[in-house]
Amino acid sequence: MKLKPLYLAAIISLSSNIAYADCQPKYAITAPAITVDMTDNLTLNSNATWILNTQYSGYFTCTRNSLWKQNSVANGSPFTKNKVVLGFNGGKDYAEVTVTNLSPSNSINLGNSNDTYPAGKLQAQFTLNVKLLGGRPGGSNIHVFSGNSATLKTAVIAMDTTNLGILDAILRFATDFLTFILTWEWPTHSEDIYYQPVTMIFNHRDTTCHFLNAGLTVNLPKVNRIRLLNGTDKGETPFTLNFECKYLQNGKTSRSVKAYLSSNNLLPNDNQTLIDSKAGAAKGVGIRVSQTSDSSPITFSASPSSSRGATLLFSKNSGNIIDKNFSIDLNAYYHVYDPQNIIAGDLKATSVLNFEYN
């Protein structure tokens, strides 16, 4: 009976000498941030992906244990199971972010020894998925940044899984995500070895259209006075305006856009007729313009800053489909506005193509 206490004490002594292996560092290392400028990709298409590689550097050390348990490490991401919405430019633009295709996806076994390994043992590849949203969504997983950039400090986490296990890591990510949503700070743990930040940049770009053949000159032919007066020859001359619209989202405008013509060479009380008021110029006759699809003369605006009263060459509301490149065919011709006082001479008039956005 006196031997039993000694026996139990021996068992306790043996248990206390067991050492558990791990690859835990003194402190986790934050890798250089990967910067992704999403502006062009998301402006063309609201969904975009980037294949990225972690940028871990340096070394990490694992210890040996008496149970011959294998040391293991793995990469994980809080954003494979959880979506986060980032607001850029003070909430003018919102993007939904997830991480997928993290590879390798399983634990990496490192044996059972005291050894130091290069960071290359833990390098991983992953896909950053971003969806540009039409506005602020519902939910609490939203963080708004005042500027054009946002950083996920823990897009990928390399961790010691020797005593943690993949399932435990997944559960940890789920609970930590709740803290992250409330504080925008990811909780740290002793198992963490590396953090891989990703900085995303999005510059807001609104749809902008350009006139590609600026400086276009349309030369009307000389016409016979009699034929001009009886309407058999108006000197009709076709010409084309070429346009390019940039920063379309899935082929749609991000804002409304209108195009119209204005001029300072308008006949008084007639905004459809261009005249030349210089000395020696032709009198009693002016120039009109019509679209080939409509013989009615277009109306010019007297102001380059307002489309009010002008014929719109095209008009698109925000969210309308518009071709990136397109053309509009027009027709210029002479118009007799004072047949009793026609004077022969040169006739030169200018107009300006204007765009109006809202």
Same domain? For 213 and 181 the reply is no
Q: State how far the Cα of 46 lies from the Cα of 167, in Å rounded to an integer.
A: 34
Q: Which band of pLDDT confidence, cut at 50, 70 and 90, is reported for residue 12?
A: very low
Same domain? For 38 and 101 the reply is yes
Same domain? For 28 and 156 the reply is yes
What is residue 341's predicted lDDT score, i.e. its pLDDT?
A: 92
Q: For residue range 330-346, what is the model confidence (pLDDT) as tens digits?
A: 999 999 999 999 999 99
Q: Which band of pLDDT confidence, cut at 50, 70 and 90, is reported for residue 286?
A: very high
What is residue 172's predicted lDDT score, i.e. its pLDDT?
A: 83
Q: What is the dihedral of CA 268, 272, 276, 281, to 10 degrees?
A: -100
Domain boundary among 152, 167, 201: 201
Q: State how far the Cα of 179 lies from the Cα of 193, in Å rounded to an integer.
A: 20
Residue 244 has pLDDT above 90, yes or no: yes
167 domain residue, yes or no: yes
Q: Which residue has the higher pLDDT, 46 or 201?
A: 201
The mean pLDDT value for 73-99 works out to 93
Residue 318 has pLDDT above 50, yes or no: yes
Residue 13 has pLDDT above 50, yes or no: no
Tokens 């000389």 found at: 222
Domain boundary among 171, 201, 231: 201
Q: Across-strand partners of 288?
A: 333
Angle at 32 between CA 31 and CA 35, to 5 degrees: 130
Residue 166 has pLDDT above 60, yes or no: yes
5 domain residue, yes or no: no
HSE-CB at 44 with a 13 A cutoff on CA atoms is 6
Same domain? For 184 and 36 the reply is yes
Residue 233 has pLDDT above 70, yes or no: yes
What is residue 164's predicted lDDT score, i.e. its pLDDT?
A: 78
Same domain? For 133 and 263 the reply is no
Q: What are phi and psi of 290, to 5 degrees?
A: -135, 160
Q: Which band of pLDDT confidence, cut at 50, 70 and 90, is reported for residue 264?
A: very high
Q: Which band of pLDDT confidence, cut at 50, 70 and 90, is reported for residue 67?
A: low
What is residue 1's predicted lDDT score, i.e. its pLDDT?
A: 39
Domain boundary among 201, 228, 252: 201
**What 3-state DSSP class applies to 168?**
helix
Same domain? For 224 and 195 the reply is no
Collect all residues with Cβ–Cβ distance below 8 Å to 182 and sequence separation of at least 6. none
The mean pLDDT value for 155-170 works out to 83
Q: For residue range 177-223, what is the model confidence (pLDDT) as tens digits?
A: 888 888 888 899 989 999 999 999 999 899 999 999 999 999 999 99
What is residue 357's predicted lDDT score, i.e. its pLDDT?
A: 97
What is residue 111's predicted lDDT score, i.e. its pLDDT?
A: 85
Q: For residue range 141-157, what is the model confidence (pLDDT) as tens digits?
A: 899 999 999 999 999 99
Q: Which band of pLDDT confidence, cut at 50, 70 and 90, is reported for residue 165?
A: low
Q: Which band of pLDDT confidence, cut at 50, 70 and 90, is reported for residue 314?
A: very high
The mean pLDDT value for 16-27 works out to 61
4 domain residue, yes or no: no
* Weakest-pLDDT range from 12-16, 110-114, 323-327: 12-16
Maximum C-alpha span of the chain: 140
> What tokens appear for 67 in the block?
């149970």
What is residue 45's predicted lDDT score, i.e. its pLDDT?
A: 84
Residue 4 has pLDDT above 50, yes or no: no
What is residue 58's predicted lDDT score, i.e. its pLDDT?
A: 92
- Domain with 333, as residue range(s), is 208-357
Cβ burial of 292 (10 Å; 0-12, 13-18, 19+) is exposed
1 domain residue, yes or no: no
Residue 7 has pLDDT above 70, yes or no: no
Same domain? For 233 and 277 the reply is yes
Same domain? For 136 and 239 the reply is no
Mean pLDDT of the residues in the chain: 89
Residue 261 has pLDDT above 60, yes or no: yes
Q: Across-strand partners of 307?
A: none
Other CB atoms within a 10 A radius of the CB of residue 83 amount to: 15
Same domain? For 33 and 64 the reply is yes
Same domain? For 225 and 318 the reply is yes
57 domain residue, yes or no: yes
Residue 11 has pLDDT above 70, yes or no: no
Residue 21 has pLDDT above 80, yes or no: no
Same domain? For 113 and 216 the reply is no
Per the structure, how many domains does the chain have? 2
7 domain residue, yes or no: no
347 domain residue, yes or no: yes
CATH, residue 278: 2.60.40.1090
14 domain residue, yes or no: no
Same domain? For 191 and 218 the reply is no
* Element of type H or E holding 297: strand 294-297
Residue 295 has pLDDT above 80, yes or no: yes
